[in-house]
Amino acid sequence: MNKAYEGSEQNLDQKQDPKTDIDGEHDDDEFEGNACSNAVGFIQNIVADFYKEYHNIVWYTIYLVLLLFYFGYFIYCMYHLTVNDKITEEGSIRLIVITILLVIGISLTLLTKFVKLDITSFEREFEQFMGKYGFIIHICFIILAIGGNVAVIIVEVILKEVDNLISLIGVFCFVVVFYITSHNPARVNWRPVFWGLEIQFYFALAIIKWPIGNDIFQWCGDRVTEFLAHTDAGAGFVFGNDTFRNHFFAMAVLPVIVFFSTAIAILYYLGVMQFIIKYIARGLAFALGTSPAESLNAAGNIFIGQSEAPLMIRPFLAKLTNSEIHAIMTGGFATIAGSVMAAYVLMGVPAKHLLSASVMSAPAALAMAKLSYPETKVSKALDKDVYQMESGKERNIVEAASNGACMSVKLVANIAVNLIAFISLLQFVNATLTWFGERAGLYAPDHELLTFQFICSYVFWPMSWVMGVHHTDCRVLGELIGIKTFINEFVAYNELSKYIDNRANLTWYEGLPAINSSYTGNWTRVGRDIHYLDFDHTLVGGTIEEGYDSRLDVSDKFSTC
């Protein structure tokens, strides 16, 4: 017999031996161990079998114990704060808000999970009722909404500051332009257009004119700013606590995107984001009559970016109509991604304005999308399928946080390289335009230099004016719109932050006489620049005027455009 063949056959037999592991070591199944190891193994098997059979009960018990601990803590805190007369402090209010949201979330979760309602029969009865009276109900709501519009316009605009009617002209102009350029004007469904603009109107009314609404968003904005401030700990550790702010954008602003992306990933893992987005989407779909897929995407765009939001409806993308795809793209461009919003906050843009603008833009984006590209087909994505969003697939919260941080790397890199490219390109374009302008005699300080911003400030002046911006600031907003449209929105927000800083600096300077009588607080304009007369300092580019307190300021209007 061939010895080589005999050896290979023996090796083959060894490989097929189930008792031999990868390293070629033979498992000794006859080894029984001592009494201690056997007892530990026996207990492990019992615990594993028990958990396998009753794991739901185990986790419900853990959740219940944690919940009881929290409510015990909450009750004690309320007693302590009441006794010490601190119940009205901001920290106390924050604890109460967190507890209310927790109770609402738990109640809705338990209701949908354990309470079995006859949804089918309820929906059937509701459809029959709406089939009979839906038209009348809809007409009544339209009359109430328009009546509310007229009352607010008369009381808050005409009787107080009639110039604010200009923004109403702007809304009308935008609707007319979108209708004229619509893909199919004859098939426009005016329901999403009307209610999208109405929701935006009443939301703006609640934020601007309703003190409670304004306070709520101011409070939310302050909490966002406070939350993002924790980024300094990580950025300081990596780049050095004493030096990282010397390179503000690279070492202070971009790390905020990493931190916020991590927070969003954790909320996705816990199912919090899905919970919030789902109910906002249902509200939009009910009010506007839009499909579940485009409503869910619009709701998601309030919190996440244009690239991430469509992933929630990824299984249905192939089935979407052209109108739905158009609405998805419009919603992405109309809102601000949460991670990018965090960077804007650190650049000096008020968080309250960014939050309100992002929420207000969601229904308005659907309205304009349905006006520009009306729906002519029946959506194949059903609500029972679309709203079944899964939680994160990570094995634990640490993995979710790590994945969120890693996913932000591409976004941070894209922002950094695009800023380098576009700011350099803008500088080259401005140098070229200035050279051509100087050939025609446009020299500083007698004339403004011919630049890209100078051209945009006049080209987009009419758009700024119909948006309701004070005429003294129309060139400023026109300049910012042009940069945002043709260059990069980060560059535009960077320019906006300079105007905000200049306004704050001018306010400080004008208040100096109240502190020291040797100062006059007087200044003069040199072109658009502002020069202080008390000492040699110039605010390059000037400021944003704030002589119209009843309006949104430029930063809020720019956030919505």
Q: Show the DSSP H helices in 375-451 as ranges.
A: 383-386, 397-439
For 516-521, what is the mean pLDDT? 83
Closest CA to 336 of 361, 371, 318: 361
pLDDT digit string, tens, across residues 351-396: 888 888 888 888 999 999 999 999 888 877 666 666 676 666 788 8
User: How much is the pTM?
Assistant: 0.73
pLDDT of residue 368: 92
Q: Assess contact for 453 and 470: CB atoms under 8 A.
A: no
Radius of gyration of the chain (CA): 31
pLDDT of residue 193: 92
- The edge-to-edge listing of strands for the beta sheet with 529-532 is 523-526, 529-532, 537-539
Please say if the pLDDT value at position 554 is more than 60.
no
Other Cβ atoms less than 10 A from the Cβ of 507: the count is: 11
Long-range Cβ pairs for the range 144-153 (8 Å, 24+): 145/194, 145/195, 145/198, 148/202, 149/198, 149/201, 152/205, 152/209
Collect all residues with Cβ–Cβ distance below 8 Å to 41 and sequence separation of at least 6: 33
How far is residue 530 from each of residues 90, 454, 536, measured CA to CA in Å? 39, 17, 11
Token output for 375:
């729906």
For 253-271, what is the mean pLDDT? 87
Question: Does residue 425 or residue 163 have the better pLDDT?
Answer: 425
Question: What is the rounded distance in angstroms from the CA atom of residue 558 to the CA atom of residue 561?
Answer: 5
Token output for 86:
């601190």
pLDDT of residue 120: 54
Please say if the pLDDT value at position 548 is more than 50.
no
Question: Does residue 71 or residue 487 have the better pLDDT?
Answer: 71
pLDDT digit string, tens, across residues 65-89: 999 999 999 999 999 988 888 888 8
Please say if the pLDDT value at position 129 is more than 50.
yes
Question: What is the rounded distance in angstroms from the CA atom of residue 558 to the CA atom of residue 353?
Answer: 10
Express as a percent the part of the chain with pLDDT over 90. 14
6 confidence band (pLDDT: 50, 70, 90): very low
Collect all residues with Cβ–Cβ distance below 8 Å to 320 and sequence separation of at least 6: 293, 294, 313, 328, 379, 380, 381
Question: What is the rounded distance in angstroms from the CA atom of residue 379 to the CA atom of residue 324?
Answer: 8
pLDDT of residue 48: 86
SS3 of 201-266: HHHHHHHHCCHHHHHHHHHHHHHHHHHHCCHHHHHHHHHCCCCHHHHHHHHHHHHHHHHHHHHHHH
Instruction: Please give the mean pLDDT across all residues of the chain.
Output: 81
Please say if the pLDDT value at position 515 is more than 70.
yes
For 19-29, what is the mean pLDDT? 51
Please say if the pLDDT value at position 335 is more than 90.
no
For 299-308, what is the mean pLDDT? 79
Q: Is 106 left (phi over 0), alpha (psi -120 to 50) or beta?
A: alpha
For 403-410, what is the mean pLDDT? 88
Question: For the chain, what percentages of helix, strand and coil (3-state, to nearest 5) are there?
Answer: 75, 0, 25
pLDDT digit string, tens, across residues 85-116: 888 888 888 899 889 988 888 887 777 666 65
550 confidence band (pLDDT: 50, 70, 90): very low
Please calculate the CA angle 424-427-432 and round it to the nearest 5 degrees. Answer: 130
For residues 485-495, one letter each, b for 16 or more C-beta atoms within 10 angstroms of the residue's C-beta and e for the rest, the string is eebbbbbbbbb
**How far is C-alpha 162 from the geometric centre of its chain's CA atoms?**
33
Q: Assess contact for 281 and 387: CB atoms under 8 A.
A: yes
440 confidence band (pLDDT: 50, 70, 90): confident
Q: Assess contact for 408 and 415: CB atoms under 8 A.
A: no
DSSP helix/strand/coil, 196: helix
pLDDT of residue 545: 67
Strands (E), 250-385: none
Question: What is the rounded distance in angstroms from the CA atom of residue 526 to the CA atom of residue 74?
Answer: 59
Collect all residues with Cβ–Cβ distance below 8 Å to 533 and sequence separation of at least 6: 520, 522, 523, 524
Sign, CA torsion 154/157/160/164: negative
pLDDT digit string, tens, across residues 216-242: 888 888 888 888 889 989 999 998 888
3 confidence band (pLDDT: 50, 70, 90): very low
Return the DSSP state at 539: E
Collect all residues with Cβ–Cβ distance below 8 Å to 293 and sequence separation of at least 6: 313, 316, 320, 324, 328, 379, 381, 386
**How far is C-alpha 245 from the geometric centre of its chain's CA atoms?**
25
Question: What is the rounded distance in angstroms from the CA atom of residue 288 to the CA atom of residue 296?
Answer: 12
pLDDT digit string, tens, across residues 192-214: 999 999 998 988 888 878 888 88
